[in-house]
Amino acid sequence: MIKISDLQKFYRTEEVETIALNNLSFEVKQGEFVAIMGPSGCGKSTLLNILGLLDDPDGGSYLFNGIEVANFNERKRSDLRKHNIGFVFQSFNLIDELSVYENVELPLIYTKVKASERKERVEAVLDKMQIMHRKNHFPQQLSGGQQQRVAVARAVVNNPKLILADEPTGNLDSSNGNEVMQLLTELNEQGTTIIMVTHSEHDAKYTHRIIRMLDGQTVTENILV
């Protein structure tokens, strides 16, 4: 599903050039659940941004479903993103001014889904995440675990083929964290490919494979399953 080869990314300030990704290559197959681990500053987040088409690489190739997307313009990237990729963040990134229901509905509005269908799909996913009873609440009124469940609901409402999760349990206590990991596992079992950046060896155990990074390069790959 995803194949990156010799991916490069540099950050330049006035005097220093930092190499964030240094000829990075790996492949993720359809239906895989992959963890990316490594110390702070090793390039995990940069990689996730590029995989999520939020940022473009300075060199190398990125094939998404066999299509070269490394040089896509903003509109094409946005289009590909909204139909194929769901995001889950450490800080949830829910929109404070929108209710639970409205937060989950937003991606469907952007993909121009009809109102009647939107209602059906939002309710179905809220049900599945067991937060239907909270649909009219605002994010500040929810616990961290609930907020992250809303974020996951929002990420999957469009039935993306790929979910990118950036330390999804980082702001949660262990029991809420486990719940979220359970949710992701279920989603993966239903066929969604998931790439997750994490610091937690515990969370990594839920995945099929761990890619370990250091200084913008992969150092090892552990196959868990």
What is the distance between the alpha carbons of residues 145 and 174, in angstroms, rounded to a whole number? Answer: 10
Q: Footprint of another protein on residues 164-223 (CB under 8 A)?
A: none
Residue in 18, 30, 65, 111 binding another protein, rule: CB under 8 A: 111
- Beta carbons within 10 angstroms of residue 91's beta carbon: 13
Nearer to another protein, 93 or 185 (CB): 93
Judged by CB under 8 A, does residue 136 bind another protein?
no
Nearer to another protein, 52 or 210 (CB): 52
Judged by CB under 8 A, does residue 72 bind another protein?
no
| Contact flags string 29-58 toward another protein, x per CB under 8 A | --------------------x--x-xx---
Judged by CB under 8 A, does residue 107 bind another protein?
yes
Beta-bridge partners for 9: 21
Judged by CB under 8 A, does residue 106 bind another protein?
yes
Residue in 154, 179, 194, 203 binding another protein, rule: CB under 8 A: 154
Binding interface with another protein (CB under 8 A): 49, 52, 54-55, 74-75, 78, 81-83, 87, 89, 93-98, 102, 105-107, 109-111, 154, 158
